[in-house]
Amino acid sequence: MANKLNHLIDSYQQLKQQSENCVLATIIETFGSTYQKAGARMLITQAGELIGLLGGGCFERDLVEHARTVFETGEAKTVFYDMRSPDDVIWGLGLGCNGAVRVLLQLLQAEAGFSPLNSIADAAEANVSGFLVTVYESGHADFPSGHSLFLPASIVDNRLSLTSAPFPFTASALQTVLQQKPHIEAHVFGDQEIKAFYDPLQPPLRLLVFGAGTDAMPLVQCAKALGWRITVADYRPGHIKKERFPQTHQLLHLLPEDISDKLELNQFNALVVMTHNIEYDQRYLKAVVNSQIPYIGLLGPAHRKDRLMQSLGNDAERISKRVFGPVGLDIGAETPEEIALSIMASIHAQLSGRNGRQLNPKATAD
Per-residue pLDDT reduced to its tens digit, 248-293: 999 999 999 999 899 999 999 999 999 999 999 999 999 999 999 9
pLDDT digits (tens, 9 = 90+) for 1-23: 466 778 888 888 888 888 899 99
* Domain presence at residue 291: yes
As a whole-number percent, the residues of the chain with pLDDT over 90 amount to: 61
Q: Is residue 124 assigned to a domain?
A: yes
Phi then psi dihedrals of residue 352, to 5 deg: -90, 0
Q: Is 365 part of a structural domain of the chain?
A: no
Does residue 357 lie within any of the structural domains? no
Q: Are 245 and 222 in contact (CB under 8 A)?
A: no
Domain end marker among 168, 203, 238: 203
Q: Are 251 and 190 part of one and the same domain?
A: no
Clarify whether residues 163 and 221 are in a common domain.
no
Q: Which residues contact 170 (CB under 8 A, 6 or more apart)?
A: 164
Calpha distance 275→215 (Å, rounded): 10
Is position 361 within any domain?
no
Residues 173 and 253 in one domain: no
pTM (predicted TM-score): 0.82
pLDDT on residue 240: 94
Taking CA atoms, 320 is separated from 129, 288, 295, in Å, by 28, 12, 10
* Distance between CA atoms of residues 80 and 100, nearest Å: 7
For residue 167, count CB atoms less than 10 angstroms from its CB and return exposed for 0-12, middle for 13-18, buried for 19 or more: exposed
Q: Is residue 191 domain-shared with residue 213, that is, in the same domain?
A: no
Which residues span the domain enclosing 135?
1-203
Whether residue 284 sits in one domain with residue 156: no
- Per residue in 178-201, pLDDT (tens digit) is 788 899 999 888 788 999 999 988
